[in-house]
């Protein structure tokens, strides 16, 4: 994956997160390496469900609790983008 495509996915996902969760910030204010849950954006498990739904609609990605990567996927915008880039449309 080249750098440009990674940046596209990150900004796309930042927009998806802001729109899905009605966050009061600009997508480019989400720091790619900052934690999404707990600290950082302070998201919670309800948000995880909402995001999972948005991911399945936008990228046909279905999250599973027993995916070994599940904790990693939501850890930051960057890791979420990497996961989506690997699995989108598959």
Partner 1 sequence: MSPGIVEAELLPRPRYALTDRQSSDVLFVGPDGTTTASMFLNAARHLADALPDASHVVNLCQDRYRFAVAFAACVLRKQVCLLTSDRSPARLRQLGDDFSNVISVSEDPAVAGLSRHHRMTACLGQVGPSEAVPMVAADQLAAIVFTSGTTGEPMANRKLWGALVERSLAAAVRFELTARHRNTVVGTVPPQHMYGFETTILLPLHANVASWHGPAFYPHDIRRALRQVDAPRILVTTPLHLRNLLAAGTECPPSLKIISATAPLPVAVAAAAEARWGAPVMEIFGATEIGSVASRRTVTDVAWTLYPGVGFLPERQFSMERIMVTAPFAEPWPLNDNIEMVDGGKFRLLGRTADMIKLAGKRASLAGLNQILNDIEGVTDGLFVAPDDLDERSAARLLAYVVAPGQTSENILAALRLRMDPVFLPRRVIRVDDLPRNEVGKLPRAALDRLQDACSDA
Q: Which residues bind partner 1 (CB under 8 A)?
A: 20-24, 38-39, 42, 44-47, 49-50, 52-53, 56, 62-66
Nearer to partner 1 by Cβ, of 65 and 90: the residue is 65
Residues 53 and 72: their CA atoms lie apart, in Å, by 18
Q: Considering the complex, what minimum distance in angstroms separates the CB of residue 23 from partner 1?
A: 7
Cα–Cα nearest to 89, from 9, 17, 20: 9
Nearer to partner 1 by Cβ, of 23 and 85: the residue is 23
Q: Considering the complex, what minimum distance in angstroms separates the CB of residue 14 from partner 1?
A: 16
Nearer to partner 1 by Cβ, of 20 and 79: the residue is 20
Cα–Cα distances in angstroms (integers) from residue 64 to residues 53, 67, 68, 84, in the given order: 12, 5, 9, 14
| Residues ≥6 apart with Cβ < 8 Å to 15 | 27
Q: Considering the complex, what minimum distance in angstroms separates the CB of residue 84 from partner 1?
A: 15
Q: Considering the complex, what minimum distance in angstroms separates the CB of residue 52 from partner 1?
A: 5
Q: What is the DSSP letter of 28?
A: G
């Amino acid at each position: 994956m080249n750098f440009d495509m990674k940046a596209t996915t990150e900004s796309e996902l930042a927009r998806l997160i802001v729109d899905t969760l009605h966050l009061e910030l600009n997508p480019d204010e989400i720091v790619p390496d900052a934690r999404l849950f707990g600290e950082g954006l302070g998201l919670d498990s309800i948000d995880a469900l909402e995001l999972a739904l948005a991911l399945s609609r936008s990228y046909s990605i279905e999250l599973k609790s027993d995916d070994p990567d599940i904790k990693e996927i939501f850890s930051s915008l960057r890791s979420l983008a990497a996961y989506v880039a690997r699995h989108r449309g598959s």
